[in-house]
Structure 1
Amino acid sequence: MCETSANRSFEGVQSAAAAKSLTKTYGAGDTAVSALRGVTVDFPAGTFTAIMGPSGSGKSTLMHCLAGLDRADGGEVHVGGQEITALPDRELTRVRRDRVGFVFQSFNLVPTLTALRNILLPLDLAGRKADRDLLSTVVRSLGVHDRLHHRPSELSGGQQQRVAIARALVTRPDVLFADEPTGALDSATASTLLSFLRTSCRDLGQTIVMVTHDPLAAAFADRALVLSDGRIVGDIGGPTPDSVLSAMRSLVS
C-alpha cells in the first residue's frame, strides 16, 4: 500500500510527541469499540504530520490521547520528552496549557475580546508575558496584524481561524494539534492557511499534527499517517493528493 514504518527515522531530530503501544477502548462487553490497538508512533520536532483514515479509524482518538484531552487505557504518551499518561488531572492541565497548542474547526474565540486579547489569552491565564517579536512575526505572517483590535464578529471565517492559529503559536508549544482546521474554510483560504502551517514548521521549527479527511490538505504535510481499525496501516513520506487517495482507496478494496 505504502511505506508502513510509523517510526520513520529523522536522524538527530528530537521527538516532540510520541505514543508507545497505545490502546483505547470505548464501552464494554458486546458494545466495546477498540479505537486504538497498540499504536506506536513518533512525531519529530519541526515536522508536519497529517493523520488520515475513514470514520471510526481512531484518528481523532489518537490526537486526543496525544494532546492529553483523553486518557488512553494502556501504553504511554510523551510530549516534549515528558511522559504524561499517568499524570494527575492538575498536572495534565498544566501540560495542555504550557506545552500543547490546539486549533479546531470551531474557532473557540471569546466573542467579547478583541483578536489581540484572544491571541494573548492563554499567556494571560498562565501569567506569562508574550514574546513581542514572535507575536509580531505570527500575526504578520497570518495577515491579521491589521485586525487585532476587531472582535470575532467583525472578522471573516478565515480571519477567525488565523487568529485561533496565532493564539496557539504564541505560547511556543512543543506540538500544535489541528483538528480539521480547514473544514469550515473555502479552498483559497484553506490553501493559504495550510501554507502558513507548513512555513511555521520550516521557519519557526513548530511541530504540527493535523487530523484531516482531505487529501489536498494532507499534501501540505511532510508525512501522512493512515489509520484503519485503530492501527497505523500506512506512513507516507512527502504525501501527494494521489498517493493519499491511493492509500485511502486500498482500505476499501
Structure 2
Amino acid sequence: MSATPTAGVAVSARELRKEYGAGPQPVVALAGVDLDLAAGRFTAVMGPSGSGKSTLLHCLAGLDRPCAGTVRIGAAELARLDDRRLTLLRRDRVGFVFQRFNLLPTLTAEENIVLPLAIAGRRPDPDWLRQVVAAVGLTDRLGHRPAELSGGQQQRVAVARALITRPWVVFADEPTGNLDSRSGAEVLRLLREAVDDLGQTVVMVTHDPVAAAHADRVIFMADGRLVDELRTPTAGQVLDTLARLEPAPAAGR
C-alpha cells in the first residue's frame, strides 16, 4: 500500500449505509453516515444500545462491508480493494484493540506484540519496539505468556500489538469492557498517550462516559445516524448527552 493518510483526515465515510436481513423491513444499522475523523486525534463513538456504533466501527475498519457508501482510510478507498488488498491494509495500516484481548496463549508477550510483523515477514524496528514496550509498561513482562499476566497487562500487550506496525489508525472496540476500573484507566491513559506522544490516531467505541472523556471528540449515534458531538468533553457532558438520546420508557413502566 503506497497511499498515505490525507493531510488532516485519517478516516472518512460518505453516505454509509448498512442493513441486515432480507424482506420488506430490514434492520437499518447505518442510515447514510457522513464522517471525517481527524489524524492524530482521539475520537470516541457513543450511543444507546442498537444505535449502530459498533457497526460503524467495523465498516470504517474494513471488518465489514457496507451496503452502500464509501470509506477511506488515508487515501485508500476500501470498496476498491479486493479481499487480498483489504487484508493487507488491515494488517499493515490498521491497529485493533478489542474487548477480548485476542492473544495467542502459546506466545510470549513480545511474540504477541510483534505477531503482525511476523505474519508479514518483517522484522520489528528495535528502537520502535523498545519505545512501544516502554510506553505500555511491559519491559519486564516480555517473556511472560498471557496466562501469567493480569487482564490489564494482557490488554496492554494488545495495545502494543496495535501500535507496532505504526498504523494509520487504531480502532478500539470497548477496550476496557473486561477490565476493572484501575486497569481500564491504565489502558485509556495508554491510548491517550499514543495520540499525544506517538502521534497516533485512535477511534474508540465505548459505553462509558469516563472513558469517552479521554477523547478529543465524542460523536453520538442514534438509529444509525450521527446526531450530536462534543469537543474536549467532560464525563458529565457526555452523560448528559447520552441521557437525552436514551429512548423514553414506555407508559406504565
TM-score range, shorter chain: over 0.9
Is 1:147 the equivalent of 2:165? no
Contact 1:15/1:81, CA 8 A, preserved across alignment: no
Distance 2:156 2:101 in 1: 9
Structure 1 gap ranges (5+): 1-11
Distance 1:157 1:79 in 2: 31
Residue 64 of structure 1 and its aligned partner are, at CA, apart by 0.3
Residue 86 of structure 1 and its aligned partner are, at CA, apart by 3.3
Residue 31 of structure 1 and its aligned partner are, at CA, apart by 4.4
Distance 2:80 2:57 in 1: 17
Contact 1:103/1:176, CA 8 A, preserved across alignment: yes
Question: Any idea what SS the aligned residue of 1:146 has?
Answer: helix
Corresponding residue number in structure 2 for 1:35: 29
Structure 2 gap ranges (5+): 1-5, 249-253
Map residues 150-229 of structure 1 onto 2, 5 A cutoff: 150-229=144-223
Contact 1:16/1:44, CA 8 A, preserved across alignment: yes
Distance 2:113 2:24 in 1: 45
Q: 2:128 aligns with which of 123, 129, 134?
A: 134
Q: 2:105 aligns with which of 111, 122, 135?
A: 111
What root-mean-square deviation, in Å, do the aligned CA atoms of Structure 1 and Structure 2 show?
1.2
- Count of aligned pairs: 242
1:173 partner letter: P
Distance 2:24 2:149 in 1: 48
Corresponding residue number in structure 2 for 1:9: none
Corresponding residue number in structure 2 for 1:4: none
Judged with a 3 Å threshold, the aligned counterparts in structure 2 of structure 1 residues 142 and 151 are, in CA distance, closer, same or farther, namely same
Q: 2:90 aligns with which of 73, 96, 99?
A: 96
Residue 144 of structure 1 and its aligned partner are, at CA, apart by 0.8
Residue 176 of structure 1 and its aligned partner are, at CA, apart by 0.2
Deviations 1:133-173 (Å, cap 9, x if unpaired)? 11111111211110000110100100000001100101111
Corresponding residue number in structure 2 for 1:7: none
Residue 13 of structure 1 and its aligned partner are, at CA, apart by 4.9
The normalised TM-score by structure 2 is: 0.93
Is 1:78 the equivalent of 2:85? no
Following superposition, which runs of at least 4 residues in structure 1 exceed 6 angstroms of deviation? none
Is 1:58 the equivalent of 2:52? yes
Contact 1:80/1:99, CA 8 A, preserved across alignment: no
Corresponding residue number in structure 2 for 1:3: none
1:96 partner letter: R
Corresponding residue number in structure 1 for 2:251: none
Residue 30 of structure 1 and its aligned partner are, at CA, apart by 4.0
The normalised TM-score by structure 1 is: 0.93
Distance 1:48 1:211 in 2: 11
